[in-house]
């Protein structure tokens, strides 16, 4: 019995995680400043029909990470593990009590090769880009209205802005639009063809 125990070997994979994160994608301090919110603002929108949507920030930016599988385990290694890249996200979240406009989350992130992008989650809808697996829109494009020219009446003047299509999470159909002013953030929300909310206070 002693000879059998002495010949047994410890499992070389014992204690190892089942995944291996080989690359961390982080935002640098300059890129973080491209997020036009700090998470402590109160956003007040008023519609053309007179109702108000008051969205209060959680108080600070929130950080989380997403993993993307890069190399699935093959079973040939001594300790086979899935290899992932880890992506940093920073988000500003706002909530209110108007059911037409009661949630807004703006997130900044970058993938391994491109410039930072913004993602917008709104009520039960979200922005979507076919060019980015993380469902974000390039900040370079957002901050240059020539890419998505849209005229919007804001604070007594007609400004050239960006109109962001939102998709419902349940049906993936076009549902509504957010209006983004370069470097400022969301200044409007088009609920339908007859109802538009406009930012009045920040």
pLDDT one-digit tens code per residue, 187-198: 999 888 889 999
In DSSP notation, 40-75 reads --EEEEEETTS-EEEEEE-SS-EEEEEEEEEE---S
Strands 125-127 and 117-122: antiparallel
Question: 9: pLDDT confidence band, cut at 50, 70 and 90?
Answer: low
pLDDT of residue 125: 83
* Angle CA 97–94–193, to nearest 5: 65
pLDDT of residue 132: 62
Residues 105-129 pLDDT 10s: 999 998 777 789 999 998 878 787 6
Burial label, 139 (beta-carbon count in 10 A; 0-12, 13-18, 19+): buried
Residues 131-163 pLDDT 10s: 666 678 889 888 887 887 899 999 889 999 888
Where is average pLDDT lowest: 73-77, 79-83, 86-90? 73-77
pTM: 0.83
Q: Does residue 4 belong to any structural domain of this protein?
A: no
Residues 37-74 pLDDT 10s: 999 999 999 999 999 999 999 999 999 999 988 888 77
pLDDT of residue 13: 77
pLDDT of residue 174: 53
pLDDT of residue 170: 62
Q: Does residue 10 belong to any structural domain of this protein?
A: no
How much of the chain, in percent, has pLDDT values that exceed 90? 46
Q: Does residue 149 belong to any structural domain of this protein?
A: yes
- Ramachandran angles phi, psi of 5, nearest 5°: -65, -35
As a whole number of angstroms, the distance between CA 95 and CA 91 comes to: 13
Q: Which two tokens stand for residue 32?
A: 């973080």
Q: Does residue 70 belong to any structural domain of this protein?
A: yes
Expressed as residue numbers, the domain containing 66 is 18-201
Q: Does residue 85 belong to any structural domain of this protein?
A: yes
Is the CB of residue 77 less than 8 Å from the CB of residue 71? Answer: no
52, β-bridge pairs: 46
Q: Does residue 99 belong to any structural domain of this protein?
A: yes
Q: Does residue 2 belong to any structural domain of this protein?
A: no
3-class DSSP assignment, residue 196: strand
The residues near 44 (Cβ < 8 Å, ≥ 6 apart) are 52, 53, 54, 55, 199, 200, 201, 202
As a whole number of angstroms, the distance between CA 109 and CA 138 comes to: 10
Give the total number of structural domains in the chain.
1
Q: Does residue 13 belong to any structural domain of this protein?
A: no
Whether 27 has a pLDDT exceeding 70, the answer reads yes
């Amino acid at each position: 019995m002693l000879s059998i125990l002495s010949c047994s070997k410890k499992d070389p994979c014992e204690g190892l995680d089942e995944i291996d994160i080989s690359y961390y994608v982080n935002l640098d301090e300059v890129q973080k400043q491209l997020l036009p919110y700090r998470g402590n603002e109160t956003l007040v929108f008023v519609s053309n029909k007179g109702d108000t949507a008051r969205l209060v920030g959680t108080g600070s930016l929130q950080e989380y990470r997403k993993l993307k599988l890069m190399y699935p385990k093959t079973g040939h290694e001594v300790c086979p593990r899935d290899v992932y890249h880890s992506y940093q996200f920073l988000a500003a979240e706002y909530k209110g009590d108007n059911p037409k406009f009661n949630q807004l989350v703006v997130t900044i992130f970058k993938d391994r090769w491109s410039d930072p992008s913004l993602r917008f989650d709104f009520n039960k809808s979200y922005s979507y880009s076919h060019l980015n697996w993380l469902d974000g829109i390039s900040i370079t494009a957002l901050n240059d209205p020539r890419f998505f020219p849209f005229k919007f009446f804001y604070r007594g003047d007609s400004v050239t802005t960006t109109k962001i299509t939102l998709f419902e999470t349940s049906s993936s159909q076009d549902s509504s639009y957010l209006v983004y002013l370069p470097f400022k953030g969301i200044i409007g929300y088009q609920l339908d063809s007859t109802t538009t909310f406009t930012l009045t206070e920040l």
